[in-house]
Chains A and B, each alone.
Chain A
Amino acid sequence: MDFNDTPQEAEYRAKARAWLEDNAAEYREPPETAWKLDEFIQRSKAWQAKKFAAGYTGITWPKAFGGQGLGPMQSIIYGQEESRFHAPSGLYSIGLGMCIPTVFTHGSAEIAERYVPKALVGDEVWCQLFSEPSAGSDLAGIRTRAVQDGDEWVIDGQKVWTSFAHASDYGIVVTRTDPSVPKHKGLTMFIVDMKAPGVEVRGIKQMSGGSDFNEVFFTGVRVKDTHRLGDVGNGWKVALTTLMHERLAVGGKPRHAPGYETLMKLARGVEAPVGGPAIEAGDVRQRIAQSYINDQGIKLTQMRALSALSRGQMPGPEQSISKVVVAKTMQEMASFALDLAGGDGFVTGADGDPELAKLQGSYLGAAGLRIAGGTDEILRNIIAERVLGLPGDLRPDKDKPFNAAA
C-alpha cells in the first residue's frame, strides 16, 4: 500500500512539473494585491493559451474535440501540479469543467466545431445559467421561459448566482419551454450569447465583499434553434450532464482555506483564558484533533478515490461526503480560530492582522460554500438515497403540470 504514482503517472507528473517550472514561474507566489478584473481576465487568457499550446487543456476530452484523450488521473495529476502555483485558472473552470462537455455531448457537430476550440484556447469565456431566485436546490422549478418563434426561440426571465457572467461571452441556459407538463419534462437547454440584446448582467456583492456572482436578466433574448442542446423538453437530462461535472468540481477544499496547521500555529501564539499558551489547554487540543480528523480525513478519503481511479475503477461513494465535510469543517475551524484570537479576531482593515484576515475571509466564505454546488441538506439526501438506498423525499409537485403545481 502506498501513495506513489504508477510509472506512467510518474512520467506524466514529471513532464507537467517541468513544464510548469518553465512556464508558470511568475505565479510561484500569490499576487501581492488581488488583480483587478481586467488584469485577471487578461492574465487568464494568456495562461489558458499557453496551456492549450502545451496540451494541458481538455486533458480527458476526446481528441475529436481538441482534447488530449487521456484518463482522469492525468487530469488530476496536472491539476495537483498546477495547484502548487498561483496561476489564474478560475475563469475557465465553469466553462471547461461543466459547460463545454455539455455542449459537445448534446450539441450538433456544427455547434461543437464552432464553440469548443475557442473555449479550449481561452478566447471565449462561458458561464452556466441554471439557478433562479426561487429555484436553487429545487432546480427543476425554474421559470425562465423560452417560446419558439420560427427558427428562433425568445427567452424571458431571470437567473441568479451566475459565476463570472460579467466576464462571459456565452452561457448555457436552462429554460421552461412547456409549463403544461410536470416540471422535469418541460425544460430545454440553449447556448446563449451573453452580449446579445436583452441580456443584462448585474453583479451581486457577497457577504465576503467579493462579487464573483451575478443576476442575469433576459428580456426578449433571441436564440437560434441550432443553439439548442438536446431535444425540446429534454433539458433536465442535459442539465444532469452539467451537474455531474459540477459536483466533481466543487468537492475539494478551497485553495486558501485554513487547515489544522493554521489552528495549531494560532494556538501556540495566543494565551488561553486560564493562562498559558492556548495550545496547552485540553479543550483546544480536542478541537485541533477534531479538525485534523475532518480536514485530513477528507484528503485521505480522496486518496482512496484516486486509488480506485488509478486502477481504472470508478471511485466509490466516498466522494459524495467531501463537500459536506470540507465546507462545515472550514466554517468550524475559522470560527474556532477567530474565537481563540479574542477581540483581535473581530478587527478588520488596516488595524487588523493579515493572518486573521485570511481566517475572516474563510469564515465568511464558508457560509457560501455550504450552499454552492448543492447544500449540505441536498448532499445528505444524496448520500442517504444513492449510497444507503433510502427512499427519496416526497415530491407533491412531481407528476403535476408545472403551471398547476402550488
Chain B
Amino acid sequence: MNFDFSDDAKALGEQAKKLFADKAGTAPARKAMASGAPDFDAGLWAEIANLGWTAARVPEAHGGLGMSAEESCQLAEAAGAALAVVPLVSTLLATEALLIAGTEAQQAKYFPGIADGSLIAVPAWNEPGAVTPATVATTASGHTLTGSKAPVPDLPGAHLAIVAAAGPDGPSLWIVDLNDALVEPVETLDLVRRHGRLTLANTPAEPLGDPAAYQAWLDRAAVILAYEAIGTASAAMDMTVEYAKTRIAFGQTIGRYQGVKHKCADMFIKIELARAHALHGVAMIGSDGAELRQAAAAARVASLDALSFTAEETVQLHGGIGFTWESDCQFYYRRARALTASLAARGWWADRLVRALELRNRAAA
C-alpha cells in the first residue's frame, strides 16, 4: 500500500514551507494588513515564479513542469500555513480549470504566461446573494457575461478571471480578460488577503468547457482548498501549542491543564481526519469519477471543520490577549472565514457528499 505523497511532492512541500517561513507568516501578514495596499506581495510572487511553483501543473508542452496534483496540494498547504499574500492557490485552481476544460488553443494561449508568473489567473466563483454553485446569477449570452462576482480572492492585480456563469445547460466556466471588466477592491473580514469585485456587463468571455467540466473543477478545487485550510489550521495549532508550553498560570504552564491539553488534542484529531480525507481526494484526482466527488466533498467538509474549530480555540486558549489587535490569533480566525467563503459553504459540500454516497449505493445495488 502506498497511500502517501510521492517523495518529489514532499520535497517540494518542504521547499515551499522553508521559503514561506523566511518570506511570509504572521509578520508580513501584519504589514499587509497595515498597508492596505490593494495588491499582493510582488517580490515574493517573482520568487515563487522563479522557483517554478506557478508552472507546477502546467504541461511541459506549454512551458510548465507537468507535475501531478500532489504538488499543487503541497504548495497549497504551505501557502495556507504561511498566510502568504500571493495569488498562488488561485493560480493553482485556475490551472486546474484550464487543464480540465481548456481547448488546445486556450491552453497554448494562457499556460505559458501562467507558468512564468506574468499572467495571473484567478477563479471568480462567489457572487452577491448566492451561496451555492447551483444558483449562479451571472448569466452568459452568446460570448458575453453579465453579473457581479464578489468577494473574489486575489482579484486586484490579476489579469484573467475564470468565471462561473449560468448558460442554457447550467452553470459552467468562462474566461474573462480583466482589461475588459471593472475590478474594484472589496473589504473583507480577512484583512490580509486581497479580494475584489468583478462587474460584468455584456463583457466579452470565452467558454471554458461544459457544465460537467465545471462540476469536475469544483471537485479538484475542493481538494486543493482542503490542503490550504489544513495548512492554516496546522499553523494555528502549532502556535497555540507553543503558547501553551510557555504561558504560566496558577504556577504552571497552561499546557499542563487538561482543559487546554484536550482542546489541543482535539485540534490534532480533526486536522488528522481532514488530512486522511484530503489525501484520498488527491489520490482520486485524475480518476474524476464518483470516488473523487465523494472524497473531495469529504475533504472540504473535514478541513473546514478542522479549521473553524482550531481557529476558534486558538483565540480561546490564548486568553485575553488572543482577541486583541496585537495578537496573531486574529489572522487565523479571520482566514478561517475567508477559506469557508472561498468555494461554497460547508453545508452545501456536506449535502454533495451524501449525494455522492447515495449515487454509489444505487450503483452498487
Contacts and interface: CB of A to CB of B under 8 A. Distances in A.
Interface of A: 1-6, 9, 260-261, 264, 279, 282, 285-286, 288-290, 292-294, 296-298, 300-301, 303-304, 306-308, 310-311, 318, 321, 324-325, 377, 380-381, 383-385, 387-394
A393 B301 CA distance: 33
A41 B305 CA distance: 46
Contacts of A307: 1-4
Closest 4 CB pairs of A and B: A300-B276, A289-B350, A297-B273, A384-B261
Contacts of A389: 241, 245
A97 to B, nearest CB: 22
Contacts of A388: 241, 264-265, 268
Contacts of B358: 264, 279
Contact of A286 (B6, B264, B275, B350): B350
A6 B274 CA distance: 26
Question: Which of B5, B265, B354 has the most chain A CB within a 10 Å cutoff?
Answer: B265
B195 interface: no
Given A285-B354, A391-B255, A2 B283 contact: yes
A2 B3 CA distance: 6
Question: Which of A4, A294, A297, A393 has the most chain B CB within a 10 Å cutoff?
Answer: A297
A381 B263 CA distance: 10
Interface residues of B, number: 46
A358 B211 CA distance: 44
Given A1-B282, A321-B268, A296 B277 contact: yes
25 contacts: A1-B283, A2-B283, A261-B361, A264-B361, A279-B354, A285-B351, A286-B347, A286-B351, A289-B353, A298-B276, A300-B280, A301-B276, A307-B4, A321-B269, A321-B272, A381-B265, A384-B264, A384-B265, A387-B265, A387-B268, A388-B264, A389-B241, A391-B245, A391-B253, A394-B252
A264 B3 contact: no
Interface in B5-22: 5-6
B302 interface: yes
A298 B273 contact: yes
A261 to B, nearest CB: 8
B31 interface: no
B2 A300 contact: no
Given A388-B268, A391-B245, A391-B255, A289 B262 contact: no
A3 B252 CA distance: 46
B241 A304 contact: no
B99 interface: no
A300 B277 contact: yes
A325 B269 contact: yes
B100 interface: no
Nearest to B361: A264
Contacts of A296: 277, 298
Contacts of B253: 391
A303 B357 contact: no
Contacts of B269: 321, 324-325, 383
B266 A380 contact: yes
A1 B262 contact: no
A4 B358 CA distance: 26
B244 interface: yes
Contacts of A310: 1-2
Contacts of B273: 293-294, 297-298, 301, 321, 325
Contact of B3 (A306, A381, A394): A306
Given A2-B283, A293-B277, 12 more contacts: A264-B358, A285-B350, A289-B350, A289-B354, A292-B354, A294-B273, A301-B273, A301-B276, A304-B3, A380-B266, A381-B262, A389-B241
A304 B4 contact: yes
B12 to A, nearest CB: 15
B279 interface: yes
A341 B294 CA distance: 27
Nearest to A303: B3
B277 A390 contact: no
A390 B256 contact: yes
A1 B258 contact: no
Contacts of A5: 1
A288 B1 contact: no
Question: Which of B262, B276, B298 has the most chain A CB within a 10 Å cutoff?
Answer: B276
